[in-house]
């Protein structure tokens, strides 16, 4: 079966923390494999209140309320470019509608695991569309994207938090991700002993990073 060129977002499933995003910076949350749009919502209360927050549901249903952004391949942490492109095309189409209807301010991406891979890939697909990104236990997608050259010129700030001993994402995926991100974004890399999850310390660092994004220069977080 041919892969679709776009996997649309079900906007009726999107959860907003505000009904008035006009002019406010928008934080887009993207959950991990097997979760749903409500999985990351508890984080919103611990992040800067200036943000309007929209939590998306991934387009591929897995059953029992779980969803995915793209299928898991035989090599975890290495999705196909076509699958990632179809998912990011759906998010970009959703965002175009949101911008037309709600006129939010700058847009920042935050994703966990597969959602983190989506955040990084969205920057590559539309480098000028986003002010910054947060990638938690996430990874880059192998292959070249047309926007990579422009992304390397713009170098938006990107927070990347992960555990080298992550039991889900193999170390080779993190090595690939580090090589790509250090060449294309203003990388803020931080390692945590969290397995495949998010710690309180990591969330504190994310909040500090997001607060710094709109000051022009975010905090430098040493690995």
Q: What is the pLDDT of residue 109?
A: 98
Cα(69)–Cα(31) distance, integer angstroms:
9
Cα(174)–Cα(14) distance, integer angstroms:
30
Nearest to 106 by CA among 21, 2, 44, 12: 21
Mean of pLDDT values over 192-202? 97
CA distances to 33, 63, 90, 112, 177 from 160, rounded to whole Å, are 18, 30, 23, 10, 10
- What's the pLDDT tens digit per position in 1-14? 456 799 999 999 99
- What's the pLDDT tens digit per position in 12-36? 999 999 877 888 999 999 999 999 9
| Separation of first and last alpha carbons in the chain | 43
Which distant-in-sequence residues (6+ apart) come within 8 Å of 20 by Cβ?
52
């Amino acid at each position: 079966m041919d892969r679709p060129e776009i996997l649309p977002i079900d906007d009726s499933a999107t959860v907003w923390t505000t009904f008035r995003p006009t002019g406010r910076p928008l934080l887009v949350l993207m959950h991990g494999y097997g979760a749903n749009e409500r999985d990351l919502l508890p984080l919103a209360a611990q992040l800067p209140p200036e943000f309007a927050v929209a939590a998306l549901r991934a387009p591929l249903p897995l059953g029992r309320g779980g969803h995915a952004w793209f299928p898991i391949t035989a090599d975890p942490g290495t999705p196909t470019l076509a699958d990632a492109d179809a998912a990011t095309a759906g998010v970009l189409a959703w965002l175009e509608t949101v911008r037309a209807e709600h006129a939010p301010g700058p847009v920042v991406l935050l994703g966990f695991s597969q959602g983190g891979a989506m955040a990084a890939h969205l920057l590559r697909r539309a480098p000028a569309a986003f002010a910054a990104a947060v990638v938690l236990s996430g990874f880059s997608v192998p292959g070249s994207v047309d926007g990579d050259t422009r992304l390397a010129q713009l170098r938006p700030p990107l927070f990347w938090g992960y555990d080298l001993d992550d039991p889900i994402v193999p170390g080779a995926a993190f090595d690939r991700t580090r090589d790509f991100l250090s060449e294309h974004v203003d990388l803020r890399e931080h390692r945590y002993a969290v397995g495949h999850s998010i710690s309180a310390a990591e969330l504190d660092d994310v909040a500090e990073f997001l607060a710094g994004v709109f000051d022009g220069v975010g905090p430098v977080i040493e690995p």
